[in-house]
Amino acid sequence: MNHRLKILAVSGTLYEKGVQLGKQFHTSIQTDMEMVKELWKDEDVKDRFLIVKRKLEEKYGDLLEEVYGRADGANVNRDDYLLYLCPEIYTYHESCTDIIVKNHHHEIIGGHNEDGNYSLDNSALVKYQTNYGYLCDFFTTKTLAGGNFCWNSHGMIFTGNSIYVKHINHIGIPCWFILRRVVDARNMEEVLALFDNKDAASGFNLNVVDTNAKRAVSIEYRLDIKSVIEVNDKFAHSNHFTSEIGLPLTKKGSNSKFRLEKSMEFLNKYSLNYRRIDEKDILNILQYRGKTPKTSILDTKYPEITALTFLYNSKRQIVIYCYLDHYKYRISYDMGNLFSSECESSMELFSI
């Protein structure tokens, strides 16, 4: 298998890590910047960008160092790449599905479908060396850590889903920066203390598992509205609010409601068998395909692909199913063994 998801390690300051990633993905980033050059022709985009950049300099200056490092490493204009990482200024996206189950023994298992326009050229599993240990992230050139799924050496696991908002706050703080701030957290209390959705540009659902405390929480936020859901049984989430009444669910054409209802239907069905729901059950749900993309949870064809399925448990065991190449394969390992020979030897082909 010559073509498979890259597994990389970066170290140093945030800026230095950014440079390393920018160099690694310079071709993809340079290609994407061609699209960004068209965005600058819109005067509204220019005005919004200046306001957002000023806010980021005031509250997220440290994270901007990684952004600028990526730009410098890829040899592209810093403002071009920063605009690219502030999608709420110019567009809207919808993606991903999550399932979490906590049983009566306080064991937690979960799964996440990462949806989006990803490829082997713009994605990787990246291990960030940190002053506390490591942060492992499904890296893409389009996001910061926390925007897809990641885990750290404190035993914290993070997965996320976009949430539809009818009116985007085009000059608010982009969600990638809000999420990046919390994924180095040591425990659930620190996550909740660090999480700041004030002046958010859009909406997002961050699901967090603390494997030490055996605790799972789902945070929903939309602009200035936030809710925290403690997960103590069966839980699923897609791309709309589940805890606030009266908010718009999804945009026209979305299958978010279908994915959520189908996930819960299967979870409830499995529970009726009077047995413990396991990782295989969650995988079956996340790989469910109907006759069309509208009636599917997994979409590996059209209109957008599911890039990966991420499975985990509170014992810190992880399995990743990658759909990004012709030779679809799975990788399984413990949270700390991303570069071990065990991880490499566990890589095997599968079919769906």
DSSP line for 263-294? HHHHHHHHHTTTS---HHHHHHHHT---SSGG
Alpha-carbon gap, residue 151 to 68, rounded angstroms = 24
- Measure the CA–CA gap between 263 and 45, rounded to whole angstroms: 38
**pTM higher than 0.75 for the full model?**
yes
Residues in the chain: 352
pLDDT tens track for 96-111? 999 999 987 789 999 9
H or E element at residue 109: strand 108-115
Q: Which residues of the chain have pLDDT under 70?
A: 1-2, 92-94, 244-250, 273-274, 301-304, 326-327, 341-352
Positive/negative CA dihedral, 216, 304, 289, 345: negative
Please state which CATH class domain 97-349 belongs to.
alpha beta
Two structure tokens written together for 290? 């109907």
The one-letter amino acid code at 292 reads T
Longest Cα separation, the chain: 60
Contact 25, 122 (CB under 8 A): yes
Structure confidence at residue 248 (pLDDT): 58
What is the token pair recorded at 239? 């791309």
Residues whose CB is less than 8 angstroms from the CB of residue 55 and which lie 6 or more positions away in sequence, other chains included:
171, 173, 199
Q: Where in the chain is the domain with CATH 3.60.60.10?
A: 97-349
The CA distance from 84 to 245, in Å, is 33
For tokens 């494997």, name the residue. 211
pLDDT value for 189: 96
Q: How many CA atoms lie within 13 A of 205 on its CB side?
A: 27
What is the rounded radius of gyration, in angstroms, for the C-alpha atoms of the chain? 19
**Token output for 126:** 């990246």
In sequence order, the β-bridge partners of residue 126 are 8, 137
Task: Write down the pLDDT at residue 350.
Answer: 65
Indicate the residue type of 315: K
- For 161, other C-beta atoms within 10 Å of its C-beta total 27
Distance separating alpha carbons of residues 86 and 239, to the nearest angstrom: 19
